[in-house]
Chain A
Amino acid sequence: MRRLSIALGAIGLVIAGCGQPAPVGGTSPAPSASVAATPTRGGTAIIAIWQEPSTLAPHYANQTVTDIVNYGVIEGLAETTDAGEYVPKLVKSIPTVANGGVTVTADKMDVKWELLPGLKWSDGKPVTSADIKFSWETWMKDPKVNSRTGYDQIASIDLPNETTALVHYKSIYAPYPLNFGGLMPKALLENEADISKTDYVRRPLGTGPFKVAEFKAGDSITLEKNTNYRFGPAKPYLDRVIFKSVPSVEVAMAQLKAGEVSAVWNLTAPQAVDLEKVTGVVLQTVPGPSVERIEMNTAQNKENTDPNSTHPVLGDIEMRKALLLATPKKQIIDKLFFGKAKVGTSPVSQGWAAYKEPQASYDAKKASDTLDAAGWVKGPDGIRSKNGVRASLSYTTTTGDSNRERVQQVLVDEWKAVGVEVKIQNQPSSVLLSGSCTAKDPRKLGTFDLVQYASSPGIDPHTTVFTRYHSKNIPTAANCVGQNYTRVKNADMDKAIEDAGSTLDVAQRKASYAKALKILNDQNVIIWLYDRADIDARQNTLQGWEPNAWQRFTWNIESWFIKK
């Protein structure tokens, strides 16, 4: 039921998205230099990475850095533009209801993919529709794959000819264009009992502009031009790309300044400010969908908390309001992030359903007044209490993240000033973000008061909104699924979320999400701190970059070139 509804909605989106430009999208001025210069051929780009990809196999990968490398090697049937539209990559067009590529019958649908003619794997073997089917089979068969989302909605795949795959879905699954995001070669892998034991995990065979020439664990990954690339010999411009493993971002920056590497990815705002002064270095800031937030536990802070219990302090909506009012988002962004982030407004910050109504802005006086009015009385030490309950909270985020720690310092002081005591109780990300009850994720167990982390929605926001804010998705001892960590329950919000998922009409879906997110914000259970931006830096000589909010900075690496 739930999947059906998500799906219906997104089909509407695709159909709507095809005829007209997408309503909302990540916007960022493209670096002007890259537009002006004429591409030159040849050369090597060295990209510094300080997290090593443990595997490059698309169906096992779970690190961002893997994507960074794989954009050069592995391709899917379709991809997402900066504006959030689906565009064809290995196929002639995106199948839609309008162009006859998608047929909906009752609660099922068929999608017809037509591969471009003459496609080759980088080893020269032809790409056929059998590879599409094989990719689905692998994703469903291999127990170690990262996520089966979408693939598990496919009932069967027919192959009428070498270039056509007819995908029969068991349900109506809207984000189908991104289902085959990493095509896998049947001829190479079909006789492997366990792909994780093959060379493929480090030298995956793809159709991208480059192929993996060398994988030196802990040292470097070298990509070389794929001579069988479909845009060859025109593209790629570069002969080689080397991903060089460096010990830390500081070293990467030093090497960029010294000209030893051509590009560095994923910088923080203070680091970007440092690099801005360096001549010959260009920065690219792309707003990403990821939103940094502080979630408040409305249920009791204890292991396997009862979702119907009430948090002695945060159970009071006035207290939650006051904390929001006493959160100087703008100052945090300006002072700690040098203005290189946007004030957060909702979990859906990008795309067609983006909800941009701001939360109450900073007003410490109003925060104090709110608490006074709600009966929270200041004690001799300046900390408030009500009915013998002291306004004392714990505040958890990931350890060792200097940005988050700085935000914590600011907020601890701000909140103390309005009479709320906050104690920092950080945890390693392998615990806090484990998303697992057995690994003792405090969000899952309910053992937190305030928790700060970041999360991004998919292009279709339904999964995010449904799993994070619908009352069905509160994790409990009996059933540790769902990500409604604040334990917020609101019948109207539930209904709005369900409505959004049960219509084809984009405008109606957008309105329903807006309604749900407004109710969510009225509950004051989450402080949306800021929308995170991806900041990358490169030598000015490395050109051809283009921003894309939905992909990583190497997404168009075939168009990169070195200006002589």
Chain B
Amino acid sequence: MGRYVIRRLLQALPLLLAISAVSFTILKVTPGGPLAAYEGNPNFTDDDRVRLEHAFGLDQPIPIQYIAWLGQFLTGDWGYSFSAHQPVLVLISERLPNTIYLMGTVFVTVLLLAIPIGVLAAVKQYSWFDHVVTGTTFAFLSTPTFWLGLLLIIVFGLQLRLFPLGGIQTAGKPFDVWDRLHHLVLPVATIALVQLGSHVRYLRASMLETIGQDYMRTARAKGLAERVVVLRHGLKNAAIPLVTVVALDVPELFVGALVTEQIFGWPGMGRLFWDAATRSDYPVIMGILTVSSTLIVLANLFADVVYGYLDPRIRYS
């Protein structure tokens, strides 16, 4: 197993390198640049433009810019944001806790809801409960988050005035747990409702498959209580495919929810990425892209390893 993990990690290196090279090139050949922001300043001259292009290294050929960026990145210097004049690592470190806070809550909420709903829907297949679950999960699964988020804001924020319209806390208020939770409800609901759909459906399908297995009948024949049969024998096996799905959610804890953070004005990674993209702030975009692609590769590996551990029939060599 150890050798397998090492080989996979080594394979990941050229892949990540290729991802970074391709994304860097795409960013650079796309028209537009970070200096558009200066257009509004009547004092901004062409001399200033040339000086800034040089200061930001934009006047170099793309391969040279890439090698310079990569060299810095590998030595731990992720560069400076062109617009914020802050190290990329600092920008990420101040947004990351907010995103983990948001996405972590989503992650836990989804798991806590998906497992009982999925199991129940499978156990009571074709019952009214199953039909309701199947119907609503399908509906939410096919709902775009930007629409759902705006709908929730209009109904619960603007009309019913139950929840704030956005932000992570009330401006000017000292830290207050209730205030924080109050601001958390709508964005979490937006992402969780959509994600819940896919997780419930995965679990239901996998549970249904398990229920028909011989060992379930054996367990019942042994005289075990139905609850024990379903949870200990059924769920334990049915949850294995879910591990893959959940492991692939982990990178989202870092990347955040681009659309939802934008709609709710959440000071997280998604909005950082969005702002950086609209400002052509290459160092920030590259920092986030590289970390997220690394996390996705690692999460895949993690899922494979855990899978092997949970299901002894699967062996890697």
| A residues in contact (CB < 8 Å) with B | 44, 46, 52, 54-55, 57, 60, 62-64, 143-144, 146-150, 152, 196-197, 201-202, 216-220, 222, 240, 242, 244-248, 251, 254-255, 258, 260-261, 427-436, 438-440, 455-458, 463-464, 467, 480-482
**When A and B form their complex, which 10 residue pairs have the shortest distance between CB atoms, in order from nearest?**
A218-B267, A439-B33, A247-B265, A430-B32, A440-B31, A149-B43, A481-B46, A143-B55, A196-B85, A54-B83
Q: B13-39 toward A: CB 8 Å interface, digit per residue (1/0)? A: 000000000000000000111111111
Query: Which residue in A54, A148, A457, A458 is a CB contact (below 8 Å) of B84?
Result: A54
Q: Does B139 contact A (CB under 8 A)?
A: no
Q: Does B80 contact A (CB under 8 A)?
A: yes
Could you show 14 A-B contacts with beta carbons less than 8 Å apart? A55-B84, A147-B38, A152-B47, A217-B267, A219-B168, A245-B265, A251-B153, A254-B157, A260-B164, A435-B35, A436-B35, A438-B53, A458-B43, A463-B43
Bound Cα distance A456, B43 (Å): 10
Bound Cα distance A62, B44 (Å): 10
Distance of B141 from chain A, by nearest CB (Å): 25
Given known pairs A143-B54, A146-B48, the reply for A62 and B171 (CB within 8 Å) is no
Distance of A30 from chain B, by nearest CB (Å): 26
Q: Decide if A482 touches B46 in the complex (CB within 8 Å).
A: yes
Distance of A241 from chain B, by nearest CB (Å): 10
Specify which chain B residues have a CB less than 8 angstroms from the CB of A433 in the assembled complex: 36, 39
Q: Decide if A244 touches B32 in the complex (CB within 8 Å).
A: no
- Chain A residue at minimal CB-CB distance from B276: A54
Specify which chain B residues have a CB less than 8 angstroms from the CB of A261 in the assembled complex: 171
Distance of B295 from chain A, by nearest CB (Å): 21
Total number of B residues with any Cβ neighbor in A under 8 Å: 63
Q: Decide if B51 touches A148 in the complex (CB within 8 Å).
A: yes
Query: Which residue in A52, A60, A148, A254 is a CB contact (below 8 Å) of B275?
Result: A52
- Chain B residue at minimal CB-CB distance from A220: B171
Specify which chain A residues have a CB less than 8 angstroms from the CB of B39 in the assembled complex: 433-435, 455
Q: Decide if A434 touches B263 in the complex (CB within 8 Å).
A: no
Inter-chain contact total with CB atoms closer than 8 Å = 171
Q: Decide if A62 touches B42 in the complex (CB within 8 Å).
A: no
Specify which chain B residues have a CB less than 8 angstroms from the CB of A247 in the assembled complex: 166, 262-265
- Chain B residue at minimal CB-CB distance from A442: B31
Query: Which residue in B81, B84, B172, B278 is a CB contact (below 8 Å) of A430?
Result: B278
Distance of B156 from chain A, by nearest CB (Å): 13
Q: Tell me the residues in window 284-315 of chain B with beta carbons closer than 8 Å to chain A beta carbons.
A: none
Given known pairs A148-B48, A246-B166, A433-B39, the reply for A222 and B278 (CB within 8 Å) is no
Decide if the interface of chain A is mainly helix, strand, loop or mixed.
loop
- Chain B residue at minimal CB-CB distance from A241: B172
Q: Does B228 contact A (CB under 8 A)?
A: no
Specify which chain A residues have a CB less than 8 angstroms from the CB of B278 in the assembled complex: 430
Q: Decide if B43 touches A147 in the complex (CB within 8 Å).
A: yes
Q: Decide if A431 touches B275 in the complex (CB within 8 Å).
A: no
Q: Decide if B32 touches A144 in the complex (CB within 8 Å).
A: no
Distance of A15 from chain B, by nearest CB (Å): 22
Bound Cα distance A201, B90 (Å): 13
- Chain A residue at minimal CB-CB distance from B158: A254
Q: Does B231 contact A (CB under 8 A)?
A: no
Distance of A158 from chain B, by nearest CB (Å): 25
Query: Which residue in B36, B43, B86, B158 is a CB contact (below 8 Å) of A439?
Result: B36
Bound Cα distance A325, B38 (Å): 33
Q: Decide if B44 touches A147 in the complex (CB within 8 Å).
A: yes
Q: Does B280 contact A (CB under 8 A)?
A: yes
Q: Decide if B52 touches A144 in the complex (CB within 8 Å).
A: yes
Q: Decide if A64 touches B35 in the complex (CB within 8 Å).
A: no
Bound Cα distance A456, B86 (Å): 30
Bound Cα distance A455, B58 (Å): 25
- Chain A residue at minimal CB-CB distance from B84: A54
Q: Tell me the residues in window 73-114 of chain B with beta carbons closer than 8 Å to chain A beta carbons.
A: 80-81, 83-87, 91, 94-95, 98
Q: Decide if B55 touches A144 in the complex (CB within 8 Å).
A: yes
- Chain A residue at minimal CB-CB distance from B31: A440
- Chain B residue at minimal CB-CB distance from A46: B171
Q: Decide if B172 touches A46 in the complex (CB within 8 Å).
A: yes
Q: Decide if A434 touches B95 in the complex (CB within 8 Å).
A: no
Q: B41-70 toward A: CB 8 Å interface, digit per residue (1/0)? A: 111111111011111101100000000000
